[in-house]
Amino acid sequence: MIEVKKKDRETSESLIRRFGRRVQQSGVLMQARKIRFRKDEKSKTEMRQGAMYKVKVKKIVDRLKKMGKFDDETFKNVKKKLIK
What is 28-51 written as a DSSP string? Answer: HHHHHHHTTTPPPPPPHHHHHHHH
**Are 82 and 61 in contact, with CB atoms under 8 Å apart?**
no
Asked if residue 56 has pLDDT above 80, the reply is: yes
Asked if residue 84 has pLDDT above 70, the reply is: no
Q: Nearest to residue 5, comparing CAs of 26, 24, 19, 17? A: 19
Note the pLDDT tens digit of each residue in 22-47: 999 999 999 999 999 998 899 999 99
**Are 22 and 4 in contact, with CB atoms under 8 Å apart?**
yes
In percent, how much of the chain has pLDDT > 90? 60
pTM of this structure: 0.51
Residue 25 backbone dihedrals phi, psi, to 5 degrees: -70, -30
Note the pLDDT tens digit of each residue in 61-70: 899 889 988 8
Cα(13)–Cα(24) distance, integer angstroms: 17
